[in-house]
Amino acid sequence: MSAASVTEPSARAKGIAGFLVLLYTVITLIPLLWIIATGFKTGPDSISYPPKVVFSPSLEGYVNLFTDRTRATPEQLSAMQPPTNFVDAIVQRRGEVITQPSKFGARFLNSVIIGFGSTFLSVFLGTLAAYAFSRFRVPLKDDLLFFILSTRMMPPIAVAIPIFLMFRNLGLSDTHLGMILLYTGVNISLAVWLLKGFIDEIPREYEEAALIDGYTRFQAFRKVVLPQAATGIASTAIFCLIFAWNEYAFAFLLTSGTAQTAPPFIPTIFGVGGKDWPAVAAGATLFLLPVMIFTILLRKHLLRGITFGAVRK
Amino acid sequence: MAEVILQGLTKSFGTARALSEVSLTIPDGAFVVLLGPTGAGKTTTLRLIAGLEKPDAGDIRIAGASVLADMPAERDVAMVFQQYSLYPHLTVRDNLAFPLRSPLLNWPEPQIAARVQEVASVLHIAHKLDNKATRLSGGEMQRVSIGRALVRAPRIFLMDEPLSSLDARLRAELRIELKRIHKDVGATFLYVTHDQIEAMTMATHVGVLDRGRLVQFGSPREIYEDPVSTYVATRLGQPRINLLPADLFGRAPPGATQIGLRPEHVRQGEGVAAKVRRVEHLGDQSRLHLTVGTHDLVTLTDVHTRHVPGDSLLVRPENPLWFDASGTRIR
C-alpha cells in the first residue's frame, strides 16, 4: 500500500519543496512589499534609519502624487479654513497649498492607452499572421519567419537614434499612435512566434470539419480556431503588455508631454521639492496594479500557456 | 441525395502518388464501401470529394455538375472523420447544432433544438447533450461526430472508418442504425472501413483500392465470390482466403500458379491427406488449422467437431479460384 511510487515524490520531499518555494516567494516579494509600504509612509518615516517596519500609515504619498503644491504664504496660512476632507488635512498639516492636480493621472492614462493599444494590435496582427504561417503555403515561409524572429535579436535601443529621427520627420514624436506602433513593432515578432506555436497544435481537422459543415475559412477561423487559441492569445497578450507597460528607454526618448507614459514620469516627481519617496512609491504601486490585475484575470490561461506544448500528447 | 461521379481522379502529395485515375460512379442512394489497406487512397478519395484537397487531374461531379470550383461548404456533403472532429470548446448540443447554425443553413433555433434532440436520441447521447465535447468517452465522441453529419440532409455522406473506435456492441447497433438511415432517407454514402462485416452488411457496392488505383468495383458478393486478383480476394473473408501452390491438389489450369480457397471451399473426406494442427472453437463455428504437405490451410468445420490436433483427414478443393504468377485471376 505505502510502497514508494517512482514518479510521485514522498511527503517529505513535497514538504521541503513547498518550504523552499514559500521562502523564495517571501524573498522575492519583500521589495514589492517595501514599495507598497513606503507609499503609505510619511516623508520622514520613509527615510528614517533604522528603517521603520511598523509605522502609522498615511495617505501623504498618494496626495502628493496626484497634486502639485507650494509652501503656503503667511497670508494664506492665516486665511486657511479648517480642512473639510483628508486631502486638505494632509496638505495643511505640512503648511502647503495645492496649486493644481499633478500630471500623474494623465500619464497613467497614456500608459493604459499605449500599453493596451499596442498589446491589442500586436495580438491581433500576430494571430492573423501566425494562422497564415501555420496553415497556408506561404512562399519563403521559413525565411520570413526567421526574418520576423531576427528583429528580436537586436536590442531595440540600438536603433533608438534612427527611430528618433524617423518619428520626428513623420510627426510621430510624442504621439500615442507613434508609441503604439513602436511597441507593436517590437512585440509583433514575439506574438507571431508564440501564436504560431499554439495554432500549430490545433489539429486542422477542426477547421476542415467546419468547412464541410457549411462555414467559410474565415468563419471557421473565428468560430473554431480562435476559441481554441484563447490560451495562447491570453499568454501572448500578457507578455506583450508587460513589455509595453514597463518600457522606459523609448518612452523617455520619444515622449515628453502629450503621450508621455508613467515610467518616464515617475522619476520626475523627484524634481519637485526634494526626494519625495512616498509619492514615488505610491506611483510605483499604482503602476503595478493594471498588469497585476490583467495577469491575475488571465492566470489560468497563462499557466497553461507557459507549459503548452512542453508535453507531447 | 445525388449521384456522384469520379472521373480519372489523380492526386499526388509531393512525389507520393495517392490516387491514380480513379473513375467511379456512386449511384444515387447507393452505399459504397471503399476497401484497402492504409495508404491505398481511401481517405484521399473522401477528402477530394469533400473539397478539402484539390485533385491534380480528373473531375468530380455531384448531381451532374462539376464541383471542382466549389468550396467545401458549397458542395453540401457531410463527413465523419476518423478522429479529432468534435469542437472541444463546445458542448455536445452545440457541436450537433453547428452545421445547422452555419450561414449556409441558418435554421431557426427551435427547429435546431428539435433536430438535435432527435439525432441525439437515435445515437443514445441525449443525456450527454450538455456535456463538454471533451468530457466524453471515445465511443460517445464518435457518435456525436456521426450525429453532426446526420443532423442535416447532405447530398452525400462521407464516412472515414466512423465505427472503428467503438466497442463491438455499439458498432453493431450503429451499423444497423446507419443502414436504417440509408434505407429511410435514401441517402448516398461513401464509406471507408477495414471491417468485413460492415462492408458485407451495409454496402450496396464495394470498391477496392490498391496503391491509389481502383482495382475492382461491384456488389459485396461479387467482390467476395468473384475477385479479379489475389489482392482483392484477401480484402474480404474471415478467416482469410487460403492461397496455396496451384498443383497442391493435383492438376491446375494452364498458367495458374496459385489456388485460392475460401475456408468454406474445402471439402473434407476425400482428396489429399492433411494433418490437423490446431482446432479453434469459436462458439458459432469451429476452425480447423490443417497442414497439407508443407502448407498451412484453414477451414471451417462442424461446431461440435471431434477432431483434435494430430488427427489426419482428407481434403479437396471445391469451387477454387485460380491466379497466375502476378496474382491476376484466371477464369
Question: Which residue among B204, B234, B264 closes a domain?
Answer: B234
Q: Which of A206, A214, A228 faces B73 most closely, judged by CB atoms? A: A214
State whether B87 and B216 are in the same domain.
yes
Asked whether residue A16 is domain-assigned, the answer is no
For B73, half-sphere exposure in the C-beta direction (CA atoms, 13 angstrom radius) is 20
The answer to whether B148 contacts A209, with C-beta atoms less than 8 Å apart, is yes
The answer to whether B98 contacts A219, with C-beta atoms less than 8 Å apart, is no
Instruction: Please say if the pLDDT value at position A312 is more than 70.
Output: no
Query: What's this model's pTM, rounded to 2 decimal places?
Result: 0.79
CA distance B90 to chain A (A): 9
Domain tally, chain A = 2
Distances (CA, A) of A68 to A44, A61, A63, A213, A270: 19, 12, 9, 63, 12
The answer to whether the CB of B272 falls within 8 A of the CB of B314 is yes
For residue A163, the domain's CATH number is 1.10.3720.10
Once rounded to an integer, what is the mean pLDDT over residues A261-282?
83
The answer to whether B99 contacts A206, with C-beta atoms less than 8 Å apart, is no
State whether A117 and A129 are in the same domain.
yes
Whole-number average pLDDT of chain B: 88
Question: Which residue among B167, B199, B234 closes a domain?
Answer: B234
ipTM of the complex model: 0.81
* Domain containing residue A174: 105-267+276-307
**In a 10 Å sphere around its CB, with 0-12 CB exposed, 13-18 middle and 19+ buried, how is residue B164 labelled?**
middle
Domain tally, chain B = 2
CA distance A212 to chain B (A): 5
For residue B248, the domain's CATH number is 2.40.50.140
**Predicted confidence band at A195 (pLDDT cuts at 50, 70, 90)?**
very high
Give yes or no for A216 touching B (CB within 8 A): yes
Instruction: Say what the pLDDT of residue A1 is.
Output: 47
Instruction: Say what the pLDDT of residue A3 is.
Output: 58
SS3 A206: helix
Q: What is the 3-state secondary structure (H, E, C) of chain B?
A: CCCEEEEEEEEEECCEEEEEEEEEEECCCCEEEEECCCCCCHHHHHHHHHCCCCCCEEEEEECCEECCCCCHHHHCEEEECCCCCCCCCCEHHHHHHCCCCCCCCCCCHHHHHHHHHHHHHHCCCHHHCCCEHHHCCHHHHHHHHHHHHHCCCCCEEEEECCCCCCCHHHHHHHHHHHHHHHHHHCCCEEEECCCHHHHHHHCCEEEEEECCEEEEEECHHHHHHCCCEHHHHHHCCCCCCEEEEHHHHCCCCCCCCEEEECHHHEEEEEEEEEEEEEEEECCCCEEEEEEECCEEEEEEECCCCCCCCCCEEEEEECCCEEECCCCEEEC
Q: A-B interface: how many C-beta pairs under 8 angstroms? A: 62
State whether A56 and A74 are in the same domain.
yes
State whether B166 and B304 are in the same domain.
no
Q: What is the pLDDT of residues A141-151, one digit of tens each?
A: 999 999 998 98
User: In the beta sheet, which residues pair with residue A70?
Assistant: A97
Question: Which residue among B172, B199, B234 closes a domain?
Answer: B234
Q: What is the pLDDT of residues B162-213, one digit of tens each?
A: 888 788 888 888 888 888 888 887 889 999 988 888 888 889 999 999 999 9
Cell, residue B177: 442504425
* Domain containing residue B57: 4-234
For residue B117, the domain's CATH number is 3.40.50.300
Which of A308 and A118 is assigned the larger pLDDT? A118
State whether A168 and A65 are in the same domain.
no
Once rounded to an integer, what is the mean pLDDT over residues A227-252?
90
Instruction: Please say if the pLDDT value at position A273 is more than 80.
Output: no
Lowest mean per-residue pLDDT among A6-10, A132-136, A170-174, B216-220: A6-10
Give yes or no for B44 touching A (CB within 8 A): no
